[in-house]
Structure 1
Amino acid sequence: MPVHTVKESYVDVLVIGAGPSGLMCAHALVRAGENVRIIDQRRVHLHFMAGHADGIQPRTIESYALADRLLREGSQMHMATFYHPSANGGIERTGRTADVPAPTARFPFKVTLNQGAIEAIFIDSMAAMGLEVERPVVPASIQLATDESVLKNPHSYATTVVLRNLAAEPDQADTEMVHAKYVVGADGAHSWIRKSFNINMDGAQTDFIWGVIDITPTTDFPDIRNRTAIHSHNGSCMIIPREGDVVRLYVQVDPSDVLDPMTDRVDKARVSPEKLLQTAKKTFWPYKIHAEKFDWWTIYIIGQRVAAQFAVHERVFIAGDACHTHSPKAGQGMNASMSDTHNLAWKLAYVLRGWADLSLLETYEFERRKYAQELIEFDKQFSALFSGKPRTQNNQDGVSHEQFLDAFNAYGGFTSGIGVQYGASPITNAQHQHLASNLVIGERMLPHVFIRAADAHPFNIQDMLPADTRFKLLVFAGDTGDPCARSRLQKLADELEMADSFYVRFGGRDPTQVFDLITVSSATKERADYTDVPPMCRTHWSKVLLDDTDMFGRAGGRGYDTYGIDSVKGAIVVVRPDGYVGVVASIDNIADLDAYFGGFM
């Protein structure tokens, strides 16, 4: 029998749940050098299991500096196809289009890979930094301080969580009392954290029931390797190509086939993967599809809900499925979940380091709850269109191909993550939007290729904006070969060095640990030198870029135009640690930046 003694420990952040959202949070915090622990009730991680979430959207690929392995292991979806009932009673293709209708996407495709493999990318990276998921460990109780002085002290251990080790050896303590400054509940749709604080999930359940099967098919269907939406007289189906030869089918199910008539609840015993494939075969006709085995399967009712709150006193947070649930067919669940904690992690780091007040953490719920509500509204419309009966000669009230395609394209920016925009807050200020008219403040920084002044090496600007908890100060200085532009840049450098500037006030002994300053000149590579830029504005030789093409004219150039920045007046673009544009200011007036950073740091 395990030893029933209680040990005590202290940690800055305790993450509960090692799914994609929790792993994103823990990975970001340990990478930032913060004191974090992550627990999970599963004895093994999903790397050894098939199924679950599988789609990574373009914005997610951009965000997390782990794209290389994801692109190497996953399958890419570049094209989407659509099928509708044909005159002969079967289905026929009605169109093809880009799977990601978002022209500014750096990666204009989705990547599919099983959730276990995606989790493994984070787990392996964390292990290299000395952090392991503790499993199987579950929370048994949580207590939040009630003393206002404790809650308002960002460095106090305001939460106490009792953990149970489900696999404790006979000579090990099976219970631990953890004192944490902050707790992140990334513990799924049935979140223990959410229920512990009586946080309601607002929303409703639909009448749409879907089954999911992962198979390696034998088929004559020509679009089996494209994301495909099929509307048929027999119901709807979506095809998601997966890694290798695997394909995922989402199959619409007749409620009468799966609901228990006594309870009106889904009875999984009434359905099987074989039955789901039989339903799919009817939907695919006149094409044939067959599979010898099933890697994974499940069944679900579409529900759309958002938690009434995402935080408790800015000490306990919920993220991912714990605070929003919706249908999986638009590929939003895992992406939205990881984006939640991508948004939260850098803010926790700033408060833990004493760089920002607790109020910064209020922007997590402000930004992510609004997004979740927008996601639910989208999901309601998309699910209804996808699950609805197709329009035919005998059913003019049904969903037409044009309706579905219009919705698919209209929501492309949202579903890809590219068009997500955060509203006005202390960290998002659109007062001077006109200085960079095409960089939408509150949206992610647009990708573009610039070249390094020192050696003409081309770089996508996003590769110079890693999620390393630093604010990026992009100084678009104009033509640094021009004496007037150099004079303005020198004036900026002098102002940044003043004791009362935001750069010195909030940068501490080494401002480069807080701010990463990159100068972008409009001078040409033939005559520009990186030494044209004052030392203050080139903290390293690699931090001076040119808005010019590479040596063969294949990439780069016209960056000022792309961003809507005047090539003479220039501008300063501040990119938040999560890659979103926070504010734009004039080179001639850094008082605006003093006010911006002074609002939360």
Structure 2
Amino acid sequence: MPEIEHVDVLVVGGGPVGLITAFQLARSLPHPHKVKIIEKHAKSSQDQYGRAITLYPRSSEMLDQLGLADALAQQCFACRATANYDGNGNEVPGRGWAFMENMKDTKWDFALVLRQKYQEEIFRQALKRHGVELDAPYALVAIEVMDHVGPNGYKVLATIEHGTTKVRSIVKCKYLIGADGGRSFVRRAMDIPFDGSTSEDKWVRVDGVIETDLPKPRTYCAIESPTHGNVLWAALDHGATRIGFAFTAERQKAYTEFNEEAAVKEAIASVKPFSLSFKQVDWWTIYVVGQRIARSFFIKDCIFLAGDACHTHSSGAAQGMNTGIHDAVNLCWKLVLVLQGLAKPDLLYTYENERLPNVHRLINYDKAISRLMTMQLPEDWEGDPNADPNEILGTVMAEAATFSSGLGIFYRPDNTLNDRNTPSLASVSPGERAPDVVLQKPATFETTRLQTETPNVARFYIVLFAGDVAKTKSSLATFTSSVGGIDWLFSPKSPIAWVSVFAGPGGPSAYETLGGMPFGRVFYDEDYSAHSRYGVNTYKGAVFVLRPDGWVGTVTQLGSGAGDALAAYFKKFLILDGQAKL
């Protein structure tokens, strides 16, 4: 009889998405909850170079709220500069990756470039500090779902096999998360269709230490090659550089075998008229471009897909790992609250409902961008058939800028998490990212930021923008009366915390400023910029609920109806009846 292990969540896949998923669960689920993560390939700090390299601002923000970004920043190449050259070596401003120079409204206003092997090591060490280690080499070889088991029961029977000894064992889990890549065993075992197509286009990527006469080599750069498409030139961590190019059918005819030597030769040809030589080659690959989406991200009430397991695309816009991180962060706080018995199991269905439309947006952009980078106009192109693909590419990437940076990614208003029935009190609406404004701490007057004070620990934050207290004092009094009788809004056992933001410079005492005890932790908006960024009238104030992942859930007025509005919002998905659990 095989050994049987019981865990709350089994994560399959030890790449960035799987590691970040396991980390969030291990960090937020106290004993006796248990998390297990497996990977079929041995993993170590000696892993191969290559693969994903770039984190955009919103991904960095989310990792910062998880306590992971600082370690990444210690090793990364922080890329704030871009360049674009035409086929003759003349710089053409405003094209290619130019949008990267305008990623504002965040302290992470740059592309964080760090190769995946270094990121994974950071994530593994962080996970280990929470008592969970990556189990490798273990492959998932069978899944059985026991439909008769109810919510939060051990519904999944997973068979895993050691890669060397071939010894099999059984893991019984409440939930299974497939973060096991584009060839996902979890997706295939559950017969989830993977809709989409694969093109005939092939791309090559080469990483290494180089010498060149390119004028701006330590940038995110595009070279409009007449023979190799829109060539990627990306400055990497540790002084390295990535060269990426289209390997056309015409170029392929010159090789009976395509190896490292051939990849380097083509890389040198791709960047002409600039010179290039490799002092060291770290990694290279050739792959086929395509776009696919799993038909379901959540099935049988217990099995999830995340990252490449549920969507694959080209590396043209450098979105693969970023999209997977968005998946992991969206899913995990919801799963934590359900496992803790604080949220209704139906909350888990919002994972697919929120992530799927954004994945479709990415795929649509990627289809256009990947063709344009191969010097082909988009399949649905209705403009000038003789248009310059490089020019159109610049336009498309500029249009996709806020989506690519992640700062403009939103979740549609609904009747659950992103309250569609909110009054017009602010310029930031439910379903949108909560801007990371600068605040001032009381007494010391140190500056801090809202995201620093609202870490992602699977709890909601009620942020009270109190406005100018001299003008809002009566509204604050009625607000206090409105929420005062709702005990679970203040219970230390509830997944809710409070933050108060006063407009104007800080005084000697928050109590005296307010004329009573404030709600939660207090901060000052010294120059009124935080109220302005949120579009809050300082004479009226407003109350925001921030979801654990940093998106706005609802907005309500600062007054007598606030208590009922907050209660109605949370009761849609939290388990609060009788407050027995709180």
- TM above 0.5, yes or no, is yes
Spell out the pairing of 1:337-376 with structure 2 (5 A cutoff): 337-376=324-363
SS in 2 for 1:279: helix
SS in 1 for 2:497: strand
Cα displacement string for residues 207-244 of structure 1 (whole angstroms, at most 9, x for unaligned residues): 32100100111111112211111112112211111012
Q: Does 1:545 align with 2:523?
A: yes
Q: 2:348 & 2:489 partners in 1: Cα distance?
A: 18
Q: Does 1:468 align with 2:446?
A: no
Q: 1:414 & 1:459 partners in 2: Cα distance?
A: 26
Q: Which residue of 2 aligns with 1:518?
A: 499
Q: Does 1:253 align with 2:247?
A: yes
8 Å contact from structure 2 (residues 316, 373) kept in 1: no
Q: 2:478 & 2:197 partners in 1: Cα distance?
A: 58
How far off is 1:453 after superposition?
2.6
Q: Which residue of 2 aligns with 1:103?
A: 104
Percent identity of paired positions between Structure 1 and Structure 2? 29
Q: Which residue of 2 aligns with 1:452?
A: 441
Q: Does 1:585 align with 2:582?
A: no
Q: Does 1:31 align with 2:27?
A: yes
Judged with a 3 Å threshold, the aligned counterparts in structure 2 of structure 1 residues 219 and 277 are, in CA distance, closer, same or farther, namely same
Q: Which residue of 2 aligns with 1:16?
A: 12
8 Å contact from structure 1 (residues 429, 583) kept in 2: yes
Aligned partner (choices 537, 561, 572) of residue 566 of structure 1 = 537
How far off is 1:417 after superposition?
0.8
Judged with a 3 Å threshold, the aligned counterparts in structure 2 of structure 1 residues 159 and 531 are, in CA distance, closer, same or farther, namely farther
SS in 1 for 2:42: coil
SS in 2 for 1:435: coil
How far off is 1:165 after superposition?
2.0
8 Å contact from structure 1 (residues 429, 441) kept in 2: yes
Spell out the pairing of 1:145-544 with structure 2 (5 A cutoff): 145-147=146-148, 150=149, 153-168=150-165, 174-236=167-229, 237-258=231-252, 270-388=257-375, 397-399=386-388, 401-425=390-414, 426-432=416-422, 434-437=424-427, 439-480=428-469, 482=470, 485-498=472-485, 501=486, 504-505=487-488, 509-511=491-493, 513-526=494-507, 529-533=510-514, 537-539=518-520, 543-544=521-522
Judged with a 3 Å threshold, the aligned counterparts in structure 2 of structure 1 residues 451 and 422 are, in CA distance, closer, same or farther, namely same
Question: Root-mean-square deviation (CA), in Å?
Answer: 2.2
How far off is 1:37 after superposition?
0.8
SS in 1 for 2:167: strand
Q: 1:514 & 1:535 partners in 2: Cα distance?
A: 25
How far off is 1:341 after superposition?
1.0
8 Å contact from structure 2 (residues 87, 273) kept in 1: no
8 Å contact from structure 2 (residues 423, 557) kept in 1: no
Q: Which residue of 1 aligns with 2:380?
A: none
Q: 1:396 & 1:143 partners in 2: Cα distance?
A: 52
How far off is 1:398 after superposition?
4.3
Q: 1:473 & 1:211 partners in 2: Cα distance?
A: 48
How far off is 1:537 after superposition?
3.6
Judged with a 3 Å threshold, the aligned counterparts in structure 2 of structure 1 residues 396 and 11 are, in CA distance, closer, same or farther, namely closer
Q: 2:140 & 2:163 partners in 1: Cα distance?
A: 10
8 Å contact from structure 1 (residues 143, 161) kept in 2: yes
Q: Which residue of 1 aligns with 2:3?
A: 7
8 Å contact from structure 2 (residues 208, 278) kept in 1: yes
8 Å contact from structure 1 (residues 233, 389) kept in 2: no
- Unaligned stretches of 5+ in structure 2? 378-383, 575-582
Q: Which amino acid aligns with 1:183?
A: L
Judged with a 3 Å threshold, the aligned counterparts in structure 2 of structure 1 residues 100 and 418 are, in CA distance, closer, same or farther, namely farther
Q: Aligned pair count?
A: 555
Q: Which amino acid aligns with 1:181?
A: K
Judged with a 3 Å threshold, the aligned counterparts in structure 2 of structure 1 residues 400 and 530 are, in CA distance, closer, same or farther, namely farther
Q: Which residue of 2 aligns with 1:73?
A: 75
Cα displacement string for residues 246-284 of structure 1 (whole angstroms, at most 9, x for unaligned residues): 001112102255489xxxxxxx97212322222232232
Q: Which residue of 2 aligns with 1:554?
A: none
Q: Which residue of 1 aligns with 2:381?
A: none
Q: Which residue of 1 aligns with 2:90?
A: 92
Q: Which amino acid aligns with 2:181?
A: G
Judged with a 3 Å threshold, the aligned counterparts in structure 2 of structure 1 residues 198 and 52 are, in CA distance, closer, same or farther, namely same
Q: 1:494 & 1:45 partners in 2: Cα distance?
A: 56
Judged with a 3 Å threshold, the aligned counterparts in structure 2 of structure 1 residues 342 and 269 are, in CA distance, closer, same or farther, namely farther
Q: Which amino acid aligns with 1:309?
A: S
How far off is 1:361 after superposition?
0.2
Cα displacement string for residues 161-193 of structure 1 (whole angstroms, at most 9, x for unaligned residues): 11112245xxxx932211110000000000000
Judged with a 3 Å threshold, the aligned counterparts in structure 2 of structure 1 residues 146 and 581 are, in CA distance, closer, same or farther, namely same
Q: Which residue of 2 aligns with 1:41?
A: 40
How far off is 1:349 after superposition?
0.6
Q: Which amino acid aligns with 1:349?
A: V
Q: 2:307 & 2:256 partners in 1: Cα distance?
A: 29
Judged with a 3 Å threshold, the aligned counterparts in structure 2 of structure 1 residues 259 and 462 are, in CA distance, closer, same or farther, namely farther
Q: 1:124 & 1:161 partners in 2: Cα distance?
A: 26
How far off is 1:496 after superposition?
2.4
Q: Which residue of 1 aligns with 2:49?
A: 50
| TM-score when normalising by structure 2 | 0.91
Q: 1:134 & 1:537 partners in 2: Cα distance?
A: 47
Judged with a 3 Å threshold, the aligned counterparts in structure 2 of structure 1 residues 506 and 184 are, in CA distance, closer, same or farther, namely farther
How far off is 1:126 after superposition?
1.2
Q: 2:129 & 2:401 partners in 1: Cα distance?
A: 36
Judged with a 3 Å threshold, the aligned counterparts in structure 2 of structure 1 residues 375 and 46 are, in CA distance, closer, same or farther, namely farther
Q: Quick check: 173-182 or 397-406, which moved more?
A: 397-406
SS in 2 for 1:85: coil
Q: Which residue of 2 aligns with 1:265?
A: none
Q: Which residue of 1 aligns with 2:579?
A: none
Judged with a 3 Å threshold, the aligned counterparts in structure 2 of structure 1 residues 320 and 522 are, in CA distance, closer, same or farther, namely same
SS in 2 for 1:574: strand
SS in 2 for 1:193: helix
8 Å contact from structure 2 (residues 7, 173) kept in 1: yes
8 Å contact from structure 1 (residues 42, 136) kept in 2: yes
Q: Quick check: 12-21 or 60-69, which moved more?
A: 60-69
| TM-score when normalising by structure 1 | 0.88
How far off is 1:74 after superposition?
0.6
Q: 1:436 & 1:269 partners in 2: Cα distance?
A: 62
Cα displacement string for residues 419-445 of structure 1 (whole angstroms, at most 9, x for unaligned residues): 1001123101133262111x2321221
How far off is 1:389 after superposition?
5.6
Q: 1:530 & 1:459 partners in 2: Cα distance?
A: 20
Q: 1:165 & 1:536 partners in 2: Cα distance?
A: 58
Cα displacement string for residues 388-430 of structure 1 (whole angstroms, at most 9, x for unaligned residues): 169xxxx981425542222222111011111100112310113
